[in-house]
């Protein structure tokens, strides 16, 4: 890779991401600010891929098929969007705010997220990561 100029850091790359971007998608830039201990949105999905960067604090993150993990300020995340369920996006800190900057690629007019029903969560329980 070419050498980057001073002050420029490559945080992450995702070579297969363009295959996941829906035709005609728009790019959306979103900030998510979570107060101390905020559990975040209930289980949901996004209409297209999501690239995220934690700008402040710590986010407890769980995506369908992956173990929960803590993403700290300066670290990034990726979600493929579409059918994949985002189970947890909580503030991992009880005493401080956390913030995430998100770039999403989605068809125009689609919601940023769609909450998944309890029935569907039960049907897809076998796809959620579990420590066996």
Q: What is the pLDDT along the chain (132 residues), one digit of tens a residue?
A: 578 999 998 899 888 888 889 999 999 999 999 999 999 999 999 999 999 999 999 999 999 999 999 999 999 999 999 999 999 999 999 999 999 999 999 999 999 999 999 999 999 999 999 875
pTM of the model: 0.91
Q: Which two tokens stand for residue 46?
A: 């996004």
Domains and CATH numbers, the chain: 26-112 (2.60.120.10)
Q: Tell me, what's the pLDDT at 132? A: 57
Residue 59's Cα: distance from chain center in Å? 10
- Output the CA–CA distances (angstroms, integers) from residue 84 to 35, 36, 57, 69, 93, in the order listed: 26, 27, 25, 17, 26
Q: Are 130 and 67 in contact (CB under 8 A)?
A: no
């Amino acid at each position: 890779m070419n050498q980057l100029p001073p002050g420029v850091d490559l945080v992450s790359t995702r070579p297969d991401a363009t295959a996941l971007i829906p035709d005609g998608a728009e790019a959306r830039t979103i900030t998510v600010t979570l107060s101390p201990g905020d559990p975040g949105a209930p289980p949901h999905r996004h209409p297209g891929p999501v690239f995220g960067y934690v700008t402040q604090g710590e986010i407890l993150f769980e995506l369908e098929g992956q173990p929960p993990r803590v993403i700290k300020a300066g670290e990034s995340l990726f979600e493929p969007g579409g059918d994949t369920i985002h189970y947890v996006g909580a503030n991992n800190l009880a005493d401080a705010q956390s913030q995430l900057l998100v770039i999403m690629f989605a068809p125009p007019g689609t919601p940023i997220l769609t909450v998944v029903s309890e029935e569907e969560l039960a049907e897809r329980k076998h796809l959620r990561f579990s420590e066996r």
